[in-house]
Structures are given as structure tokens and as C-alpha cells.
Chain A
Amino acid sequence: MTMLGRTANQLYWMARYIERAENMARLIDVANRMVLLDVPGQAHESVWGSTLEVAGYPEDFVTFGGQISSSGVVLFLAFDDGFPSSIFSSIRAARENARALRVSITSEMWESINTTWLELRDYDSRTLFNGGVRDFCDWVKERTHSFRGVTDATMLRDESYAFLDMGLAVERADNTARLLDSKYHVLLPRDEHVGGSVDYYQWGAVLRSLSAFRAYHKVYSDVIQPRRVAELLLLRGDMPRSLMACFDRITSQLESLCQGRPQECQRIAGEIHASLRFGRIDDIFRQGLHEFLTRFIARNADLSAQIEHDFMMLQRSRIPA
């Protein structure tokens, strides 16, 4: 049986929203740790300021009267139902899509996301102020891991799965690129103190937020250096949250979807994939990491729009719930 374009779109966005919720939890968790560690030379305000920046929120954070406070930002990023990328909004949107997709996903997947939503809705956000940030972030990660586990264990490997997997990979690549770009801003312009303690904590935080801290040490057995962090998270296919790993997934799913019918999105994905696969970290740094990441984020967004165009045949503008 073939699949409706609209269904493909909802699957794709459901996966993106779930991934987005997890990334937000990672972001909060890392910022929270840095604040607790009292890293030398790092004002709390700048930690939360750069967190908001990665989260895609304008620099002038005014919602809480211009005051950047830990609890204010955490509450905003986690629970604000007017901020479309908050964990609350993302889970709600994923669950709304899942509700519409009951026929296309397994009942285990629906139960997983529905339970997550019901628990989140009833979550007492006051616990965040009593040292509960970490528990909350762990809970979000656990729920999103559980959703992916259930997806992996119960879903037929058909087109539905391909759209879910691409949604996840596109969102994840976007997040990794943004996170790197923001830290790059903070750290590299002066290009000094490489290996210093500020770098150590900053880049350590980046690695941790992408579950790559241990992997870094395993791969490089060396102190943390920005260039290597970048290499690990951009070019290494064996690092699950790297751009390369995301594009391995995207290109292989597109290959199965486009059999016999070449599509523009496949060409774009292939081009990006090739730049990661054959790119050298030294060249990237020579051109400028920031330029590379900015271009990547834009190309990734192009790809997403092209996927929607090629497969989803949307007629009226439809805002995914």
C-alpha cells in the first residue's frame, strides 16, 4: 500500500519534534551543570544567554523582564507553551501528530508518546526550582529514548520508518550544528588559551550535551581541543550525533525512497553528504568554522523543504500541529 503525502509529512514532523524536545533537554542540562560548577570566567548570565541563542531565541531575552535567571530560562525553555521549541510545545506537537497518525504508527509508539504527554502536562514545574532540573532533563531524555526504542523494536521498515528516520536526522544535524556554532562564537575569535580551563569546561559541556564526552577520550586519548571536537561532531560517521552520521541516515533512506525516481532532494542530500565525507577539518577551519556551519544549517533547511516538496504534495499551507 502506498502512503499519503500528508501522512509522510506528519511522520517526518513527529520525529523532528521528539528529537527537538530531547535536544532542548540536553541543552538545559548542560547549561545547568555549568552554572552549578561555577566555571571560572563564566557569568551565569552569559551561560543562559548563549543557551537561549542556541535554542533559537532572540538575544534580548525579555520575557522575564529582561532578567536572565536560571529558573526563568529553564522554565521558559521547558514549559513555555507560547515558545514553539519548548519541550512542552514540542511534545505536544509530536503527540498531536501521533494522534493524527494512529493508523501509521504502532500502538506501542502511540502509547509511549501519549504517556509522555500526559505526564508532562501534569508535571509540577515548581520542582524545577528545587534542584529538579537534572531529574526533569533525565526524564525527557529517558522518554524520548524510550520512544525511539519502541519505534525501533515495533515498526515495519517501510516508507513510514524512512520518513521518521529522516525527520530525526535532519533535526539532529541542525541541533548539533547550532550548538557548535554558538560555542564557536564564544570561544574561538581570540584563538588563545587553547586547552585552558575555560575551553575545557566549555567544550566539555558541548561534548556532554551531545553524549560525546567519553567518545572523545576514547577516540583521541587527549585533552579537549576545539579542532578535534569539531572533527568528531562534524565528520565522524561513528559518532551518532555528528553531521556525518545524520547524513549517512538521510542518504540511505532517500535512496530507498527514490528507487527509480530521482528527486531533487536526493541530489541535495548527496551533495551535503559528500562535503562531509570528503571534507577535511583543516580546510573547514581555514575557510572558517562559522561560515561552514552557517552554510550547513541553511543547506539542511533547503533539504528539508525539498523533501516536503518532493514527497508530501501539500496543497494548502498546513502548520504541523
Chain B
Amino acid sequence: MTRFFDEMNLPDGEVRSAYRALAEWLENTPVDRLKSKRDEAEMLFRRLGITFLVYGREGGAERLIPFDIVPRIFSAQEWEQLSAGLIQRVRALNMFVHDIYHEREIIRAGVLPAETLLANALIEPHMHGLDVPRDVYVHVAGIDIVRVSEDRFYVLEDNLRSPSGVSYMLENRNTMMRLFPDLFSSVDVQAVEHYPQELLRNLRATAPPGVDDPTVVVLTPGSYNSAYFEHAFLADQMGVELVEGQDLTVRDGQVLMRTIEGLVRVDVIYRRINDEFMDPLVFRPDSTLGVPGLLSVCRSGRVTLANAFGTGFADDKSIYPFVPEVIRFYLSEEPILENVETYVLRKPDDLAYTLENLADLVVKEVHGSGGYGMLVGPMSTAEEREAYRARILDCPENFIAQPTLALSHCPTFVDEGIAPRHVDLRPYVLSGETVSVVPCGLTRVALTEGSLVVNSSQGGGTKDTWVLEA
């Protein structure tokens, strides 16, 4: 049986130093109190309306993501290593996107095979040769991390389009401080509340040249989008307008918003709408979410989009296996964070290996997300594997496979009391003036015993994530 890395306890049962105060507190807190605190947390989330919409259900039912009241803790040293690795990775990815839309040196140097790009529909032709302020393409990156041992962190996935979840990270902390002030007085946790200010600072830093007091807006698809709460939350925390496509218009080569006093120029758009819906003149003509003509203003450099158009190719699962090489190529540094070994089923050898070892591997669709449509080998039945095998053979290049990772587990409050459950982590990396990461992240937890799937759409929950002061 696989031994999973336990984030709280050492193999001999002793508690790691970062968790000592928490362990003591858990020991001294009756289960009834934990239960009532958990209920209180749920009530708070519901009252504040921190919900997400589940698509495909009647009327898009509003649901709460379950919140676990036991925090996950990193020591200052652990975080130092992690954040250095995250910053390194995002710096390199920004340079990579820039290169692909300019000289493509990485291909000329033979580091990245040209065919990986040819097949990639997410490369945006309109971005070729276009310069963006400070060469920043990915203003906000969500890098999904799993831990398998004391000092091994793997990057599971890069999210470079419009990663969500940061409002949960912030509200989780807020809720914990409200529920357990006593705990915070005994543990020194690094603050995270300044994230929106950092985001605003970086967005302003990438305004079009010559604009000294830029107007920043958050662009949302609207209140029926599953992440609407987050869009509103961030706009509110940054003190900027939350706009929909219908609030913006393009006139005289500028993006303007319709206000009660007339039209006002917009300089930076933090957009939470996918590329294909952004400009019906260029992309999907049926989109009512975007702004006709937006791309042309972008191309003339008179508005900044965050993230830029066309970053999606770089977080595609077909590019993922090359990211360590990307880091070495642009930064001449060894990657600090490891990639998960990945079999690309486009390659015959990898395909053969995968089909032979389906029961041990995790197979994912290249363009999939949210834990939908993946096969977790060890958890699957023989029939499920057979069905999946047929899907793979139908179109192998649509799939990649990875070994089933021994995700670390953390103490979690479940019906039986405190028990270990598997977790991952999504920290948010900001680029603009500099590349930085606030000392926190969204910890997702698989609440079902033994489950390795942490996605909220698949019954996962979240936890507050603490990084201790040195």
C-alpha cells in the first residue's frame, strides 16, 4: 500500500513543528465545539452569498463549496522554496509567450518541436508581433501544486487564462479569523488580505504607455456566471468598476464605458471572460458577452487586457511536459518545482505503455479541465477502463497520462472527527511591476476518504492555508 505523506505528523507519530500549536488546540477543543464552528462557518458563507453555480442543474443551483475548518500549514522555509519555484516558473512562461508571438527562438533552438505549436489551436494569430506593456502576458497565474514528500512539490497544471478561486482563498482566511481568534493569537500567520491591492498595483503598472492615472475595470460575463461572486469581490476590494460587455463600447480607437455621466475611457481590463467570447467581430460572432472591436484597440496598444489574448496555448497539456525545458531555456536555471512525469499519447511508445498500465495511471483530456472526463486508474472499475480505452484509441492525441500521485494528506474535520484527507494547492502568482506571490493559496481537499479528486465540481472542499512567519 502507498504511504502518503502526512503534512501534520512525522512517520514516528510526532507532530511537525509548524503544526504543533494547531495539534494542541485540536486536542483541547471538544468535538462539539468544532461541529458548532463548522456550522457557523457554513452559515457565514451562505449569508455572505459566497456560492458558486453548478451548471447543468435546474436553474443553475447555487451551492456552497464545503469549507473545512482545520487549516493547512506551511513553515516559512517550505514556503520560501515553493514561492521561489512559482516565481521562476511564471517568469519563464511569460517569456515563453512573448517569444512565441515574436521570434520563436525556442523553436529555432530545437528545444520545443514546431509541431507541438502547429497543432495548437489556442495560439492567437492576432497576437503575432504585438508588444504588450512590460512584456507581461500572464498577469495572474494559478499554478496547481501537489506535494508528495517532505521536499517534493510537483506542478500538476499551469492555469494562465483566467484562473479562479482567489476569493475563496481570501474569504477562507477571513472566516477563520472570525471563528477562531484565539488560534490566531497563538500562531503567527503571514497576512494575505493585501492580495487585491497587489493585483491592482500590477494591473496599473501594465497600463498603456502615457496613461498616468489608469482606469482599471473587472470584466465579468455577468451575474449568472459560476464565478460571479469572485468577480464582484475583486472589483469591490480593488475599488474599481465591475463591468459587463454591454457596459463597454469601442469608439475612436478607445474602449469606453457607459456611465450615468456619459462615456469614460478604460485603460486596463482585468477580464474574466475567455478569449473566444471577447470580441464578436473577430471571434465567436454569437457572443453577447464581449465588446465588438476590442481586439483592434488592443492591437493599437490603447488598452491592456489582463491576461492578454492568446495565453491559453501555454497552459495546454501538450505544452506542459516541456515547461522544465522552457525554464532552462529562458532563465538558464534549473527548475525548482518538478513536473509530473507525463505520457503524451500522441507518441506511440507512450500510448502503448499507457494502455498496458491503465489501472495505475491517471488519464486526462488534453483540453479538459475541472476534473471532468478523466480516468483515475486505481479508483476505476474494469468496465470504466474498457470504455476509456475505446475513447483513447479513437483519438490518442487528445489524451495524456500521468502516474497516480501520492497526494499528501492533512488533518480534516469530517463526520468521524479529525481524519487525514488528500489536498492540493493553488497559489496565485501576479506579474506586472514584478513577479510575486502572496503567502497563501487555495487548498482544495478531497472530503471523501481515500479520494484523490479535489475539484469542487466533484465533491471537493477548501481549507484556509497558513504560511507561518519565520
Q: Give chain A's interface residues, CB within 8 Å of chain B.
A: 1-8, 96, 99-100, 102-103, 107, 110-111, 114-115, 118, 159, 257, 261, 311-316, 318, 321
Contact = CB atoms under 8 A, between A and B. Distances in A.
B258 A110 contact: no
Given A4-B257, A4-B258, A316-B288, A118 B46 contact: yes
B293 to A, nearest CB: 14
B455 to A, nearest CB: 24
B263 to A, nearest CB: 9
B216 to A, nearest CB: 11
Contacts of B223: 96, 99-100, 321
Nearest to B229: A102
B243 A4 contact: yes
Contacts of B261: 2-3, 261
Contacts of A110: 48-49
Interface string B244-260: 10110100000001111
Given A3-B259, A3-B260, A103-B235, A318 B229 contact: no
B47 A313 contact: no
Contacts of B258: 4-6, 313, 315
B188 interface: no
A257 B260 contact: yes
A257 B259 CA distance: 13
A312 B233 contact: no
Nearest to A312: B260
A321 B239 CA distance: 25
Given A100-B222, A316-B288, A321-B223, 7 more contacts: A4-B247, A4-B258, A5-B260, A6-B258, A96-B223, A102-B229, A102-B236
Contacts of A114: 47, 49
Nearest to A313: B258
B18 interface: no
B447 interface: no
B337 interface: no
Nearest to A321: B223
A115 B247 CA distance: 29
Contact of B232 (A96, A103, A159): A103
Contact of B247 (A6, A102, A159): A6
B132 to A, nearest CB: 26
B143 interface: no
Contacts of B48: 107, 110-111
A2 B259 CA distance: 7
Nearest to B236: A103
A114 B247 CA distance: 26
Nearest to A5: B258
